[in-house]
Each structure stands twice: as structure tokens, then as C-alpha cells.
Amino acid sequence: MHYRHAFHAGNFADVLKHVLLIGLLESLGRKDKPWCFLDTHAGAGQYDLASESADSTGEWREGIGRLQRAPDMPAMVTRYLDLVAWPDQGPAARALKHSRVYPGSPMFAAKLARPGDRIVCCEAAPAIAAQLRAYVPEAQVHVRNGYEAHGLLPPREKRGLVLVDPPFEARDEFDVASSFLVQAVERFTNGVYAFWYPLKNRHDVERFVRRTRRDTACPSLSCTLENGAPGEGQMRSCGLLILNPPFGFAEEARTVLAWLAPRLAQGPRPVWTVEAAGVEK
């Protein structure tokens, strides 16, 4: 699998990832101390959904395109839509019909950052790193393999979130990611970590989660969402493994996934899970 941000921006997997990312960053922001956000595979920072890449898949229409504000919408989802900042109706909405910009993870972090907070990104492709610098000038951008980013830890703030969101180009991606997380936790023990993954081979995912939980010895949440889409050849399920989740985040995640699952469903049986290990149930 080769998961490139530009082709899949705004799809159901991005909705899951970015809603929970916002919740994690806002949890860090509740204390009057600066945080550092480190994105190991950052991408360009924002994406035009009318571009050839995004339009070739049209996946955003079954992701963020499905979401409409509602009285029972969880606060995290409301905040997500606020940060994407698409008008719902009127002339501005019509003007955006053929030009919708979707933020990447570094852009969401920049929108949430306070004075003193810091954004650090790794992006291995020089051309994409240049786009990232232009779109998110607040970010410190390193043109390097994101799995070398443990050398940037611990951050001087001693508080923060590390997002690992790789393209899954290598067959041993789960093994490499688990080794990275173990090394990162050794250097930055109290950091919050979020690892996004496609759930295509359940055995590989379960092995990765077990190994990472064992070798890091961190409290963790495993959050998954399956949209129930029929047919083969497309991603139908993904997850986010969170190490050292904030207190109470498990229940917040359950509320969010229970609300999102039926709205992002592409079949009769969407499935979501939030499994906690070493944290309050």
C-alpha cells in the first residue's frame, strides 16, 4: 500500500485521525504550559480537493463531505469543522464548490497552537517539504526520514504530541513503526503518541498493537473505524493507536466514534472500537 496524503485528503480516515488529533492537542492546551507537536510524515500541510490528485479518488465526499452540523455533534467534531472553516451555505459556500482546501495535520496543529507552542515536521520529499514551509510557515521543517525523528526528542517543552502517519510503502512498516515508537518513548517518556494505520490485515495490526504495548509499557488506546464499504480494492477500515492518552480521553473517543460511524458508513454495518490498556475504562 502507498498512502499519499494528497489522494486521500478529507476521507473517512482523515476525519477519524484529525478529530482525535484535535482532541489530543486541546487536552495538552488545557495546561498553561507550552507543548510541541512533532509530525514524522507531515506531507504538504494542506490540500486542494479540486486538484487532480484529490479529484481522481473523490474520497473526501464520503468523509468530511458527509458531515453536517447537528445539535448532538460531539465537541471534538464541532471543533474539527470550525478549523476546516468551510462555510455551510450562502455565496461563500457556492464560491468554494470547486475549490475546497483541506488542512493537513500540521495545519490543524498551527490553528490550535498558542504563543509558545511549537510545531516540528519531518517530510522526506524536498518538493513537498517546500510546500509545507509555504503553507505552514510556523512549522520547523526537517527534510528527512520521519523514522529518524527520535533524534528530535525529547522536546525542550517536555510536553507534547508525536504523530506518526506514514505512507505504508514498506512491507515491514509496522515493525519499523513499532521500533520507532519504542525508541521515542525511551527518550520522551511522558509524551503523547498517535500512530495512524490502515486496517487491511487484522493479524498484522493485532501483532503490532500487542508488541508496541508490551515494549513501550505505556497506557494506550486502540481506536478503529470500519465504514462497511462493499467491494475490494479500497481502504474500508483504519485505526489510531494512542500511547499515554490524556486522562478521560477514552470516553471522549467512544463518544466521537459512536457519532461518526453511522455518518461515515458506506454499508449497512459500520463498526467502531475503542480498546483501552492500562488506562481508565
105 is in an annotated binding site: yes
Long-range CB contacts for residues 52-61, cutoff 8 Å, separation at least 24: 53/4, 53/6, 53/7, 54/6, 54/7, 54/9, 54/10, 54/102, 56/7, 57/7, 57/8, 57/11, 59/7, 59/8, 59/9, 59/10, 59/11, 59/12, 60/9, 60/10, 60/11, 60/14, 60/100, 60/102
8 is in an annotated binding site: no
Contact 147, 40 (CB under 8 A): yes
Strands (E), 79-159: 101-103, 118-122, 140-142
72 is in an annotated binding site: no
165 is an active site residue: yes
175 is in an annotated binding site: no
End-to-end CA distance of the chain: 33
237 is in an annotated binding site: no
Instruction: Please confirm whether the linkage preceding 103 is cis (ω < 30° from 0).
Output: no
- CA 17/CA 100 separation, integer angstroms: 19
Please identify which of the residues 14, 39, 117, 165 carries the catalytic annotation: 165
Q: Record the cell numbers describing residue 173, joined without a space.
A: 512498516
Side-chain half-sphere of 72: how many Cα atoms within 13 Å?
A: 6
b/e per residue 188-204 (b: at least 16 CB within 10 A): beebbbbbbbbbeeeee
Contact 22, 83 (CB under 8 A): yes
b/e per residue 88-100 (b: at least 16 CB within 10 A): eeeeeeeeeeeeb
Residue positions annotated with a catalytic role: 165
Binding-site sequence positions for S-adenosyl-L-methionine: 18, 41, 105, 123, 145-146, 165
Binding-site sequence positions: 18, 41, 105, 123, 145-146, 165
